Amino acid sequence: MGGIPASSVIPCVAADPPAKEAAANQDHAAVLAGPRALSRAFRFAARKATPSVVTILSYGQAGLGKATNDGGDPSGQAKPNESQQESELEIDDKQLTGIGSGVIISPDGMVITNNHVITGAKRVVVQLSDETEIEATDVFGDPASDVATLRISRDEPFVDAGLGDSDAIEIGDWVLAIGSPFRLEATVSAGIISAKNRAIRRINRGRLIQTDAAINPGNSGGPLIDLDGEVVAISTAIATRNGGYQGIGFAIPINHAKWIAKELAAHGKVRRAAIGIRIAELSPKIAAKFDLPVGLGVLAYQVIDGSAAARGGIKPLDVIVEIDGEPIKDPSNLQAAVERLPVGSFQDFKIVRGEKEISLQIEIASIEDPTLTASKDDEVESSNSKSDSDTKVIAEEPRPEVEADQPQVDSEPDAS
């Protein structure tokens, strides 16, 4: 038998160890590329935003006693002890009663925080990221939105945060919460946008962003930032049963907070506009009841007699689809559009009435206008008319609320 030709013999040679190690390293680097890229993005955003984040120290808030970081409110404010006598609750401006966070939004020292952080304070001090303390001036708050502004000053400009576009963020986007939980300054936590357009009971103007980034007592007023290091929201509340973080936090969209801040800085209060209607979302149930397309616009289910809306021609069961060229899709969208309009100006409203599309000119009123409040006679009259008796059902059928210590995600129809 012939032997195997030499040319057919394949030598068995061991792989070069350095080459094998290099290939393994490349595979490992490929596996880590995603996490490392995300880690670098977190690092970049935190480094960019942290110098503009401050701690807010409130002194002399009546009825609060010594500041603690206990309780479900992420401001870190202490709750009054019900057994204390009224005289014991009288405190001076040297006693620290509230601790929260804030963010510098201009080089000249304008700071945004939460109203509940500074409300009732006799003195407010801002601690910078380098632990310098500066007493604040021009402290103004808006309870309806829970936004507050204050001023700090020094010779050199402050490091201010970049402000992003809260309308552009989407559910699932990464965000970082920065603040002083339990007075641990410049603490950063990561999470995502869990939901948008949330509502909670103690904030009756504006919808909120929900996030699972850890927000704890002391975080209130601190920024929620995107991966570009820009502020997209202001932390304001948590849903909790034990007083601490349970995965559900809420923040005020920065686009809304910016408008509130400008009003407070310029006028010391928020000048809101209104037209005097009660509104409801065209959900499938309500749309079917009135034979209207779902999501067509916002239903005006009650028009207050003598109000700006009534004078301009809006009637019950009209559907508002556009204001000054801006499409209107839901009640929060309408409320936000109306409240920022200049009082006394005339604005174009496009409505659908039956099968007709109608354009109206409405003179915008101030929310303090007494004609925007329905009288008892108006309510009796509206309940006696067929159209208003139909809409009355809407007002009595809000979707179920969650438990008292949880956020009110679905609420009664809004007023505007």
User: Hunting for tokens 């935190």 — which residue is that?
Assistant: 46
Active site residue 220: yes
Q: Per DSSP, what are the bridge partners of residue 360?
A: 349
CB-based contacts of 109: which residues, under 8 Å, 6+ apart?
A: 151, 152, 153, 154, 158
CA torsion 52-61-122-153 (nearest 10°) is 0
**164 vs 213: CA distance, rounded Å:** 18
Q: Is 267 labeled as catalytic in the residue annotation? A: no
Residues 6+ apart with CB under 8 A from 312: 275, 349, 360, 361, 362, 363
Distance in angstroms (rounded) separating the CA atoms of residues 151 and 100: 16
Active-site option among 52, 101, 116, 330: 116
Catalytic residue among 58, 142, 145, 146: 146
Sign of CA dihedral 377, 378, 384, 389: negative
Q: Which single residue is written with the structure tokens 């997209």?
A: 232
CA angle 141, 144, 148 (to 5 degrees): 20
Report which secondary-structure segment, H or E, holds 350.
strand 346-353
The DSSP output letter for 222 is -
Q: Which of 52, 75, 220, 332 is catalytic?
A: 220
DSSP classification of residue 242: S
Neighbours of 23 (CB within 10 A): 11
Is 116 an active-site residue?
yes
SS3 166: coil
Helices (H), 50-78: none
Instruction: Annotate 286-342 with three-state secondary structure.
Output: HHHHCCCCCCCCEEEEEECCCCHHHHHCCCCCEEEEEECCEECCCHHHHHHHHHCCC
Catalytic residue positions, numbered: 116, 146, 220
